[in-house]
């Protein structure tokens, strides 16, 4: 495994949510966002994703594993300003290190991640990263970008004949590589930064996030080139996070 690749269930589920047009300022990100889906729709999609995950995967009943998730998760939730809801937690039995936090108060990690994370600080790094995606409204923003890109491709395919089909095919590739994938990499780096903010606020050691990513990188394995991946390369992620921690004095 070349790098940690979290489960972003809402990135796909947001596509079924009812769209509304809005351009809003996100304080956590420090920038404006174009958002075409509201929070209630995302929360409903998250509930559906959670129910499906619980139904289709084996759930760990190990008391120590579940207590660890709840202990670390609750501290990150409070630090992220997401403590105003009743949270559900689950440990999924899987060797693949993974985690997700869904809008509406649902958090899951795999047994593989609990094994890989050598201490609670490293576990908090992953949970903080996933919680950051929720606070940053990345799923809603990614949906908006996807919707706009698809609209552009549909316009291109309106050209008649084989030329129109070729333009449509190239348009799809161009939209994916030129807009959607790089934008998703931006989301990942933003979530890294916000996630360590949550770690520090919750009383965990932010530099353990670097240790975790280095453990992931050392695990090795094949991965797609960075330009064709929705995630930054290990070196890009570690360098960006190290620079941010130095800037914050952590």
Confidence label for 128 from pLDDT (cuts 50, 70 and 90):
very high
Confidence label for 240 from pLDDT (cuts 50, 70 and 90):
very high
Give me the pLDDT at residue 148, please.
Answer: 66
What are the strands, taking DSSP E only, across 27-94? 31-37, 88-92
In a domain, 24, yes or no: yes
Residue 81 has phi, psi (to 5 degrees) of 75, 25
| Residue found by looking up tokens 């960006």 in the block | 240
In a domain, 4, yes or no: no
* Res. 159: pLDDT tops 70: no
In a domain, 74, yes or no: yes
The reported pTM is 0.76
In a domain, 1, yes or no: no
**Which 8-state DSSP code applies to residue 98?**
-
* Res. 4: pLDDT tops 50: no
In a domain, 2, yes or no: no
How many domains are there within the chain?
1
In a domain, 3, yes or no: no
Residue 5 has phi, psi (to 5 degrees) of -125, 95
Confidence label for 108 from pLDDT (cuts 50, 70 and 90):
very high
Confidence label for 7 from pLDDT (cuts 50, 70 and 90):
very low
* Res. 34: pLDDT tops 90: no
Q: Lowest mean pLDDT of 78-82, 113-117, 203-207, 214-218, name the range.
A: 214-218
Confidence label for 151 from pLDDT (cuts 50, 70 and 90):
low
* Res. 36: pLDDT tops 80: no
Q: Looking at the annotation, which residues are catalytic?
A: 130
Number of Cβ within a 10 Å radius of residue 248: 12
Confidence label for 10 from pLDDT (cuts 50, 70 and 90):
very low
In a domain, 51, yes or no: yes
More confident residue, 209 or 2: 209
Residue 60 has phi, psi (to 5 degrees) of -75, 135
Do the Cβ atoms of 144 and 162 come closer than 8 Å? no
Residues facing residue 24 across a β-bridge: 33
In a domain, 112, yes or no: yes
Confidence label for 31 from pLDDT (cuts 50, 70 and 90):
confident
**pLDDT tens-place string over residues 164-178:** 343 344 345 454 445
- Which range marks the domain in which residue 206 is found? 9-248
């Amino acid at each position: 495994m070349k790098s940690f690749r979290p489960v972003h269930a809402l990135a796909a589920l947001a596509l079924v949510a009812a769209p509304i047009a809005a351009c809003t300022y996100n304080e956590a990100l420090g920038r404006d966002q174009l958002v075409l889906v509201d929070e209630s729709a995302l929360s409903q999609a998250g509930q559906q994703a959670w129910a499906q995950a619980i139904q289709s995967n084996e759930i760990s009943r190990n008391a120590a594993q579940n207590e660890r998730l709840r202990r670390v998760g609750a501290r990150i939730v409070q630090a992220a300003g997401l403590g105003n809801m009743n949270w559900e937690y689950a440990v999924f039995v899987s060797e693949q290190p993974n985690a997700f936090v869904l809008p509406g108060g649902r958090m899951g990690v795999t047994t593989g991640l609990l094994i890989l994370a050598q201490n609670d600080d490293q576990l908090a790094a992953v949970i903080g990263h996933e919680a950051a995606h929720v606070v940053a409204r990345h799923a809603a923003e990614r949906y908006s970008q996807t919707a706009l890109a698809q609209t552009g491709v549909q316009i291109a395919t309106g050209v008649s004949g084989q030329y129109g089909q070729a333009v449509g095919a190239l348009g799809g590739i161009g939209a994916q590589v030129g807009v959607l994938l790089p934008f998703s990499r931006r989301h990942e780096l933003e979530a890294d930064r916000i996630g360590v903010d949550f770690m520090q606020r919750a009383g965990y050691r932010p530099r353990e996030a670097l240790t975790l990513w280095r453990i992931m990188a050392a695990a090795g394995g094949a991965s797609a080139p960075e330009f064709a991946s929705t995630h930054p390369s290990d070196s890009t992620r570690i360098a960006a996070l190290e620079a941010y921690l130095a800037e914050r004095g952590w």
